[in-house]
């Protein structure tokens, strides 16, 4: 039996960076978390401890800070592509770069330099780059949404352990994680993100839901129909259950007004929606 080295990568995870752009008395913030993974000719470092092909992870962190100063940060997709191209082009041993960036929003609250952290979703970007191809997957996480009606769930399979009662009017809530793959790297990233986010919200609000699976598909479909530059979207929707509280012991009627919001356990609904001409790119999601 032979023992061989399998796929591997290394890098600097979660470099936290805030970039302040000062335009006179008006400032702008970019608050990001950057993770880098590099791969290539790394056999010797694993088998013999030869570090000659290894670009230190500390150098990768320093590059993030230096590039933020030299180039600024516009769309996080562009910043990810810039970093990936740099590492592949500048290091002979590096053949592939993976850059993942999370962006945290801030809103101006008065004057030109005061901000409050936005309590909404986290914007995400995942970039893969090598000499052969580049891929960009944009997305968001923790987009919390709720419909107080317009949701049902019935006609489901039953067995001897089933106790759930059918529902023809229930609260439907979830924290959306969505990631969508672009056909190329020439998108107008900010406009594309805004349009995809808007499509997700409208589909959630406008779908009379018979299941969270149905809602997931409609959300993905709405994004693809509105943005031809997007060919595939993957969604993860935890079902944030809301249960009616039994108020009869207190002589009160609960007419779909008072709920217990359970944080766990929860149903987890996941799925992919794609166009039929989407090019295969399984490594784009790694």
Positions annotated as catalytic residues are: 12, 57, 241
CA distance 37 to 34: 10
Bond preceding residue 265 cis, omega within 30 of 0: yes
Would you say 30 and 79 are in contact if contact means Cβ atoms under 8 Å apart?
no
CB 140 within 8 A of CB 198: no
Query: How far is 107 from 84, CA to CA, in rounded Å?
Result: 29
Transcribe 190-227 into DSSP letters: HHHHHHHHHHHHHHHHH--BS-HHHHHHHHHHHHHHH-
Contact indicator for 154, 120 with CB cutoff of 8 Å: no
In three state form, how does the secondary structure of 161-172 look? CCCCCCECCCCE
Structure tokens at 98: 């993976």
The enclosing H or E element of 189 equals: helix 189-206
DSSP string, 58-110: HHHHHHHHHHHHHH--SSHHHHHHHHHHHHHHH-TTEEEEEEEEEEE-EEEEE
């Amino acid at each position: 039996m032979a023992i061989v080295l399998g796929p591997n990568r290394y890098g600097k995870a979660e470099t936290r960076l805030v970039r302040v752009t000062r335009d006179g008395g008006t400032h702008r913030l970019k608050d990001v978390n950057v993770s880098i993974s590099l791969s290539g000719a790394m056999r010797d470092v694993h088998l013999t401890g030869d570090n000659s092909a290894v670009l230190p992870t500390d150098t990768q962190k320093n590059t993030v800070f230096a590039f933020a100063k030299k180039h600024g940060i516009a769309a996080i997709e562009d910043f990810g592509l810039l970093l990936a191209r740099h590492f592949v082009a500048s290091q002979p041993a590096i053949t592939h770069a993976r850059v993942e960036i999370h962006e945290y929003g801030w809103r101006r609250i008065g004057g030109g330099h005061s901000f409050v952290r936005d309590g909404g979703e986290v914007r995400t970007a995942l970039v893969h780059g090598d000499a052969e191809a580049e891929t960009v997957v944009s997305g968001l996480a923790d987009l919390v949404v709720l419909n107080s009606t317009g949701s049902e769930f019935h006609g489901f399979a039953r067995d001897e352990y089933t106790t759930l009662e059918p529902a023809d009017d229930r609260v439907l809530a979830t924290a959306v994680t969505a990631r969508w793959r672009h056909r190329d790297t020439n998108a107008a990233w900010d406009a594309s993100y805004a349009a995809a986010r808007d499509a997700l919200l409208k589909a959630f609000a406008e779908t009379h839901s018979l299941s969270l699976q149905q809602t997931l598909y409609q959300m993905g479909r709405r994004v693809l129909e509105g943005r031809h530059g997007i060919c595939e979207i993957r969604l993860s929707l935890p079902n944030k259950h809301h249960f009616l509280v039994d108020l009869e012991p207190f002589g009160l009627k609960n007419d779909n007004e008072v709920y217990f919001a359970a944080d766990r356990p929860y149903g987890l609904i996941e799925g992919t929606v794609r166009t039929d001409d989407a090019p295969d790119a399984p490594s784009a999601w790694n």
